[in-house]
Amino acid sequence: MTAFKSILVANRGEIAVRILRTAKALGMRGLVVFHAADRKTPAVEMADEAIEITGSTPVAAYLDGAQIIEKAKKARAEAIHPGYGFLSENAGFARAVAKAGIVFIGPAPESIDLMGDKVRARNFVQQNGFPVAPSAIEDDDPATFVARAKAIGTPILIKPSAGGGGKGMRIVRDLSILEEEITRARSEGERYFGDGRLYVERYVERPRHIEVQVLGDAHGNVVHLFERECTIQRRFQKIIEESPAPGLTPKERKRICEVAAGIARAAGYKNAGTVEFIYGGGEFYFLEMNTRLQVEHPVTEEVTGLDLVAEQIRVAAGEKLPFTQDDIKSKGAAIELRLYAEDPAKGFAPMTGPILAFRPAEYARVDAGVREGGEVTSAFDPMIAKIIVHGADRAEAIENAQAALAGTVLLGCKTNSAFLQRFIADPMFKSGDFHTGTIDERPDLTADPEPSAETIAQVLAAGALALKPTRDAADAVPALHAHLGAWRN
C-alpha cells in the first residue's frame, strides 16, 4: 500500500539513504534536499529527485526550515521525513510543515513541545507517577536554583533543558565548583541550542543507559518495541547499542518497557519515539524522551523484524498500527557499532580525509552515507556508518560483530574500527559488566597497541616494494640469463 506518492527527506548522510530505501520499497518517489558539500553522496545519487539548498554553512542549510518547506512545495512533496538531528525535534518546523499542507512524519508539535523539552517532560513524567531522579529545575525559582542543587548532594549532573547529544552536560562531585560549572553549562546551552535554561539531577554512579522504543498511532494505540542497551558512550555520545540489554532480569525488562509505553500513552504520543532511562542498583529513572527516530533504531528492527520507517510513514498517513503489544516478539540479539572518523587514542578527536576505499562487510547490515571516492569533512558529525549484526543469542551476535568489523575496509581516513574490535573482544564487554564511564576507566582499550617486530618488518618490506627502484631491481633479468635469449632446457 502506498501512503503517499512522494516523500521528501529533510536530512543527509546514512539516515537519508535509510529513509529513501523504505520510501522506494513502498512505491513512493523519494526526494532529498542537499547542500553542495553533499552533491556526490549516496543519498543524492539514490533519490528520484535531489534538490539543492543553500546556507552560510552546510549545517545552516539543513536547519533552514523555511527554505526546505518552500523547496518541498515546489517539488509537490506530500510528506517530509526529518530523520534525526537538524529539524527532527523542532516543533516550529513541524507546525510550519503542516501549515504548508504537507504531512510531517513524526509526532505532533504539541508532543515535541512537551516531551522534547527536558524540563517539561520531567515534570510531566513525575506528575503522572513515573520514576524520576531527585532534581532541581532552574525555572521553578531561579534565585534558589544553586541552593536547591546543592541540597541534592553529590554527585549531580547539570543538563541544558533544551539539550541533546551530551552538549552542556557536566558531572559535579565537588560543590565548591558547582556555580562555575553551572555558568559553563549555561554558556554551552545558549551556544548549541539558543537556550541557557538548566536543571540538575542526582547522578547515578556507574549507571547504565537503557532506552525503550515506543510507537503510537492517531487512534490511541501505543506499543513498545522492547529495550536497547546504550551504555557504551564517550562524552555522553553512544558508540555501541544492543538489544536485549544484558543484565536485566525478565521482571526488570517488563517493568521498564511498560513504564516507557505508559509515559507515551499518557502523553498521547503518536509516531516513533524513544523513552530513555538511567538504570543502576536495580532502580531506573526517567532521563528524557527523544521525539524522533533514533540513530540506533536498526537494533530494534533486527530483533523485531519491523521496518520502523515504514511504520512511521503509515502512522503519519493516519493508519492504525497493524499489530498489538502481544504480536511483537523479540528474537535473538542485535548489536550496532558506530563507525566514526575519529582517533580514540587522542580523546576521540574527529578526523577528516578522503575515502580511498570503502568495502562494507557483505554479511552484515551496513547503513552508510558515504561512498568510495568521497571525503569526510569537518562540516558534519564524524559518524561514517553503522554496522549492524544479529545472532541467535548475544554470544553469536558478538562473534558476528567481530567478523563484520574485520570484514569492513575503509582506507584514507582514520576511524575507530580497531578500538571497537578491541572493546567488543574484551571480557568486560562479553560479560555485560560495564557502565557509562567504562571507556574512561579503560585507557588500555583506547590506546593504539605497539606494533610487533614482525608487523614493522612487513610494513617496511611492503613500503620498499612499492618504490619503483626496488621493483625495477627485483624485476631485472641478470645479464647471464638475458644472454641465453628464449632458449629453454
Residue 329 resides in a domain:
yes
Residue 485 resides in a domain:
no
| Structural domain harbouring 33 | 6-105
Last residue of a domain, one of 160, 180, 202: 202
Question: 423 and 306 in one domain?
Answer: yes
> Residue 426 has what DSSP assignment?
S
Straight-line distance from the first to the last Cα atom of the chain, in angstroms, rounded to the nearest whole number: 74
Question: 224 and 189 in one domain?
Answer: no
Residue 464 resides in a domain:
no
Residue 462 resides in a domain:
no
Q: How many CB atoms lie within 10 A of CB 379?
A: 12
The enclosing domain of 76 has a CATH number of: 3.40.50.20
For residues 472-486, average pLDDT: 70
Question: 410 and 307 in one domain?
Answer: yes
Last residue of a domain, one of 202, 220, 241: 202
Q: Is the dihedral of CA 479, 485, 486, 489 positive or negative?
A: negative
For residues 74-89, average pLDDT: 97
C-alpha cell at 452: 610487533
Q: What is the DSSP string of 115-162?
A: HSSHHHHHHHHHHTT--B--EEEGGG-GGGHHHHHHHH-SSEEEEETT
Cell numbers 504548508: residue: 100
Question: 291 and 194 in one domain?
Answer: no
Check pLDDT > 80 for residue 249: yes
Cell numbers 617496511: residue: 460
Check pLDDT > 60 for residue 48: yes
Question: 238 and 140 in one domain?
Answer: no
Contact 388, 367 (CB under 8 A): yes
How many domains is the chain partitioned into structurally? 3
Lowest mean pLDDT among 54-63, 72-81, 153-162, 333-342: 153-162
Residue 277 resides in a domain:
yes
Last residue of a domain, one of 85, 105, 125: 105
Residue 315 resides in a domain:
yes
The enclosing domain of 366 has a CATH number of: 3.30.470.20
Residue 320 resides in a domain:
yes
Check pLDDT > 70 for residue 481: no
Question: 316 and 231 in one domain?
Answer: yes
Check pLDDT > 70 for residue 404: yes
Q: Report the alpha-carbon distance of residue 85 to residue 162 in Å, rounded.
A: 13
Question: 348 and 217 in one domain?
Answer: yes
Q: pTM score, two decimals?
A: 0.86
Question: 432 and 317 in one domain?
Answer: yes
The enclosing domain of 193 has a CATH number of: 3.30.1490.20
The contacts of residue 82 (CB under 8 Å, 6+ apart) are 10, 11, 88, 90, 93, 104, 105, 106, 292
Tens digit of each residue's pLDDT (9 = 90 or more) over 3-38: 799 999 999 999 999 999 999 999 999 999 999 999
Q: Report the alpha-carbon distance of residue 482 to residue 440 in Å, rounded.
A: 64
The Cβ-side half-sphere exposure at 111, using a 13 Å CA radius, reads 25
- Work out the percent of the chain whose per-residue pLDDT is above 90: 79
> Which 3-state string (H, E, C) describes 216-242?
ECCCCCEEEEEEEEEEEEECCEEEEEE
pLDDT tier at 201, thresholds 50, 70, 90: confident
Question: 141 and 55 in one domain?
Answer: no
Question: 390 and 280 in one domain?
Answer: yes
Residue 79 resides in a domain:
yes
Question: 305 and 250 in one domain?
Answer: yes
Contact 236, 166 (CB under 8 A): yes
pLDDT at 487: 61
Query: Closest Cα to residue 364, out of 418, 409, 403?
Result: 403
- Work out the percent of the chain whose per-residue pLDDT is above 70: 96
Question: 100 and 189 in one domain?
Answer: no
